[in-house]
A and B are shown apart, each in its own frame.
Chain A
Amino acid sequence: MRNDQLLRYSRQIILEQIGGVGQEKLLNASVLVIGAGGLGAPALYYLVAAGVGRIGIADWDVVDITNLQRQIIHFTGDIGKQKADSAFEKLHQLNPDVRIERLNLQIDSKNIGEIIKSYDFVIDGVDNFPTKFLINDAAVLFNKPFSHAGILRFSGQTFTHIPGGACYRCMFASPPPAGLVPTCSEAGIIGSVAGVIGSIQALEAIKYITGAGSLLSDRLLTFDALSIEFRTIKIKRNPDCPICGNNPTITTLQDIKLPQCDI
């Protein structure tokens, strides 16, 4: 490690669970963040600040004024820019050491396998069920650990899948009926809830890479901001799970067509 790196990361190198060894692991690790929005923004900031060596940002969308209330990686002057480009500009300023890859594209069943293969850990920061299920399915089929999260109004939830452990479909076998998915204007979200949950996703990636502590695997963390309560619910791998169960019915990746909730 260079001297400037020792200084930059000194406050985490000093931690017993990270140390110089953990920092080297971070510098040599790669994380893909899918969605540079409410969850992706804090996750990207903390991963880049912590010195994860290579970061992928996958987002097809452009910055809109309604994003700025929570997607804190985008600034007012970024309206109209590609989100991956806007995020790249901030992150490169924050830590030019990190190799940041911009993927200005929509993740789908055809490209996701090739994309996630080259990263050590994946963060789901997307806003719609079809892509959340696709990320889960690809992670299970390609043995890739990932952090799932969802946010809604004043609440959020997150869990970490590691190969062999419970997956998203163990809890939710298939996406909810299309008509019941709340639309953006109906649902709403307070930005700092995204900040709480996205920061936990970054923590999980850092813990996975360094081996610090125990992961949020086989557990679902739920957060209710109104009562300010965190709960973890134990989740067992479901033997009837359609993708990771004993007799899986899903063996190839497929795009799910559902209306999106652009929260």
Chain B
Amino acid sequence: MKLVVNGKEEIFDDNEISVSKLLVLKDVKLPQMVSVQLNGEFIQADEHESRMLKDGDNVEFLYFMGGGR
């Protein structure tokens, strides 16, 4: 299926992809440091496992960035 991940269109062989699985497929090492936005809505961390993605979904990974000084 086709997903738009961080603004880039990508094709995945698998059609059964949860948010958690996408984080693994995209090689996100520390999923706890990522906030996931699916089609403009934020998905709570405890829903990552159960939330399945659909063809054409738009997913953004927002990363915690704590630095500044």
Which residues of A come within 8 Å of B, CB atoms? Answer: 35, 37-40, 61, 67, 71, 124-129, 132, 149-152, 155-157, 170-173, 175-177, 180-181, 187, 189, 194, 220, 231, 233-236, 238, 240, 261-263
- Chain A residues with CB under 8 Å of B42's CB are 170-171, 238, 240
Name the interface residues of B21-52: CB closer than 8 Å to any CB of A.
30, 32-33, 35, 37, 40-42, 44
Which one, A152, A220, A234, A240, contacts B40 given CB within 8 A?
Answer: A234
Contact A150 B64 (CB under 8 A): yes
- Chain B residues with CB under 8 Å of A149's CB are 68
Contact A180 B40 (CB under 8 A): no
- Chain A residues with CB under 8 Å of B62's CB are 157, 171-172, 220, 233
Residue contacts A-B, CB under 8 angstroms, 5 given: A124-B68, A127-B66, A150-B64, A240-B44, A261-B66
Given A180-B33, A233-B37; A127-B69 close (CB under 8 Å): yes
Given A177-B32, A180-B32, A234-B40; A263-B7 close (CB under 8 Å): no
Contact B68 A39 (CB under 8 A): yes
Q: Which of B30, B41, B69 has the most CB of A within 10 A?
A: B69
Contact A127 B68 (CB under 8 A): yes
- Chain B residues with CB under 8 Å of A236's CB are 40-41
Instruction: Please count how many residues in chain B sit with their CB below 8 Å of the partner chain's CB atoms.
Output: 20
**Residue of B at shortest CB range from A229?**
B7
Given A170-B42, A171-B42, A236-B40; A263-B66 close (CB under 8 Å): yes
Contact B66 A132 (CB under 8 A): yes
Contact B64 A129 (CB under 8 A): yes
Which one, B7, B33, B63, B66, contacts A128 given CB within 8 A?
Answer: B66
Which one, A35, A155, A262, contacts B65 given CB within 8 A?
Answer: A155
Q: In the bound complex, what is the Cα–Cα distance between A185 and B68 (angstroms)?
A: 14
Q: In the bound complex, what is the Cα–Cα distance between A37 and B68 (angstroms)?
A: 7
Binary A-proximity of B1-25 (CB < 8 A = 1, otherwise 0): 0000011000000000000000000
Which one, A152, A175, A180, A233, contacts B67 given CB within 8 A?
Answer: A152
Contact B68 A172 (CB under 8 A): no
- Chain A residues with CB under 8 Å of B37's CB are 171, 233, 235
Given A180-B32, A236-B40; A37-B64 close (CB under 8 Å): no
Q: In the bound complex, what is the Cα–Cα distance between A180 and B45 (angstroms)?
A: 16
- Chain B residues with CB under 8 Å of A170's CB are 42
Q: Beyond the given A127-B66, A152-B66, could you list 20 further A-B residue pairs with CB under 8 A, ordered by the A residue number? A: A35-B69, A37-B69, A71-B69, A126-B68, A126-B69, A129-B64, A150-B64, A150-B66, A151-B67, A151-B68, A155-B65, A157-B65, A172-B62, A173-B44, A176-B66, A187-B67, A231-B6, A231-B7, A233-B7, A263-B67
